Amino acid sequence: MSFKILQNRLSRLTFLVLLTLSINFSQTIAQTAPATGADPAVLAKGKELFEGNCTACHAVHKVKVGPALKDVNKRRDITWIKKFVRNSTKVIKTEKDPYAVALYAKFNNTEMTSFPTFKDDEIESIVAYITSESANVPKEDNVAATTGGGEVKADKEDYSDLILVLTVITLVLVAITLIVFITVIRKYLKDREASLDEDDVEVVNQKFRLSVVLKSKLFIVCVILLFTCVAVRSCWVGLISIGVEQNYAPVQPIPFSHKLHAGDLKIDCGYCHTGVYRGKQANIPGVNICMNCHSQVKEGPRFGKDGIAKVIEHYQKNRPIQWVRVHNLPDLAYFNHSQHTVAGGIECVKCHGQIDSMEVVKQFSNLTMGWCINCHRETAVNGKDNAYYDRLLKVHDDKVAAGIRKGDMKVEHIGGLECSKCHY
């Protein structure tokens, strides 16, 4: 094989490596293999349950509303964990478990939401996921500045940056190796120029010219391809995010702390949002509701007298407070709060996050159609002490007994995925 042919092949290989290196900068690596030997399906299920039910209060490597869960399997046995997850109040207040009582006191007497419907295998999958994540190096948390104070924005833990850096380093080393190899071969043949044919002599003596590379068709095609990939990806990400207002936290006309009212003072959501258990809309509270307390309470620990004075002024002038709505659904979508909170038994935190820890309320969930559909697929129908579902549960149990369908009755099994349920 002549040196000219060899050089052409190596040059093409080097160029492809450099092109791959460039493309890697425009890609995001979303997932990595699990760090433990656990069944990937179990880990995936555990991650799904953890992110859907636990991340509002817990993280693996950091303290949030509740304790960090790293190595929880080493601190408590699985029997204790199952009992605590299903009914933490019973473990703390009835059984007076010393560890649970100490934990309760450490976190300002905050009770963990109970999950009585969780099965053994579901809790075990969550613990397996936490165990897997415990071995991983935690990623730095992003701190988002908000009006009225900073709050920690929880990110899903991944190692995309590390993977990307390692990929880039590997490709750079391969490119350098190829360049060095070509240089050594060129120098070797230069010393033996007399024995080479005319074509190889021409190649050995030619000089690198950047202008020739920049004008080459291959380079131009690769640049256009790379630009097109980046542009298409950017457009796609932009299009799928239209109308998604996750983390939206508008400035309100009067400063209001949900952490103080719902968290410290333990005011039930239904006291201010009067329709949350009774109607389609949860309702933005009117000034009359505010005055039930603030006719007597004229100064607050967060904002002093100024904020409450504005509330009183609106009341005296019979003028509603123009609160800025945070959670909005398009008019084409039907959503009934009471159907979810009463019939479904869904806790407010499922959709709205840990409101009682927010100084400034933000939209916790993305509220997209896919998010709602996934919830309907994963959420078991809450039929305990609920006569509304008695017949449905009986039919479902009969089908399970007959071997027609296995597993819990999910919302999707009672029409939760029908278009007309939400679009009418």
Q: What residues have CB less than 8 Å from 147, skipping those under 6 apart? A: 249, 251, 360
Query: How confident is the model at residue 33, as a pLDDT?
Result: 38
Higher pLDDT, 206 or 265: 265
CA distance 248 to 410: 30
pLDDT digits (tens, 9 = 90+) for 163-177: 878 888 888 898 888
Q: pLDDT value at position 149?
A: 38
pLDDT in tens, 127-154: 999 998 888 866 544 433 333 333 333 3
pLDDT, residue 30, reads 36
Tell me the two tokens of residue 263: 């968290």
- What is residue 402's predicted lDDT score, i.e. its pLDDT? 58
Where does the pLDDT of residue 18 fall: very low under 50, low under 70, confident under 90, or very high at 90 and above? Answer: low
Q: Which residue has the tokens 């969930």?
A: 365
Confidence class of residue 6 from pLDDT cuts 50, 70 and 90?
A: low
The domain segmentation of the chain, as residue ranges, is 40-153, 250-365, 368-424
CB 338 within 8 A of CB 281: no
Identity of residue 299: E
Mean pLDDT value across residues 184-209: 72
List, for residues 287-329, the tens digit of each pLDDT value.
Answer: 999 998 898 888 888 888 888 999 999 999 999 999 999 998 8
pLDDT bin (cut points 50, 70, 90) of residue 409 is: confident
pLDDT the model gives residue 17: 57
Cα separation of 332 and 122, whole Å?
A: 35
Contacts of 220 (CB under 8 A, 6+ apart): none
Listed in sequence order, the residues at least 6 apart from 135 whose beta carbon sits closer than 8 Å to its beta carbon are 35, 36
Residue 2: how many other CB atoms lie within 10 Å: 12
pLDDT at 24: 57
Lowest mean pLDDT among 189-203, 254-268, 377-391: 189-203
Instruction: Over range 195-209, report the average pLDDT.
Output: 70
Better-predicted residue by pLDDT, 126 or 5: 126
User: pTM to 2 decimals?
Assistant: 0.47
Residue with tokens 């000219």, as numbered in its chain:
4
Question: CATH number for the 40-153 domain, one of 3.40.190.10, 2.160.10.10, 3.30.530.20, 1.10.760.10?
Answer: 1.10.760.10
Q: What is the pLDDT of residues 22-36, one digit of tens each?
A: 555 555 433 333 444
CA–CA separation, 112 vs 90, rounded Å?
11
Contacts of 140 (CB under 8 A, 6+ apart): none
Look at residue 14 and tell me whether its pLDDT is greater than 70. no
- Average pLDDT over the chain reads 80
The predicted structure's pLDDT at residue 400? 67
β-partners of residue 149 are 146
Residue type, 205: N
Q: How confident is the model at residue 218 (pLDDT cuts 50, 70, 90)?
A: confident
Integer Cα distance of 89 and 109 in angstroms: 11
Task: Please list, in sequence order, all residues whose beta carbon lies within 8 angstroms of the beta carbon of residue 78, skipping any fewer than 6 positions away.
Answer: 123, 124, 127
Condensed to tens digits (0 to 9), the pLDDT of residues 234-278 reads: 898 888 777 788 889 999 999 999 999 998 888 888 889 999 998
The pLDDT, as a whole number, for residue 144 is: 38
pLDDT of residue 50: 86
Q: What is the pLDDT of residue 309?
A: 93
Among 36-40, 223-227, 244-248, 360-364, the range scoring the smallest mean pLDDT is 36-40
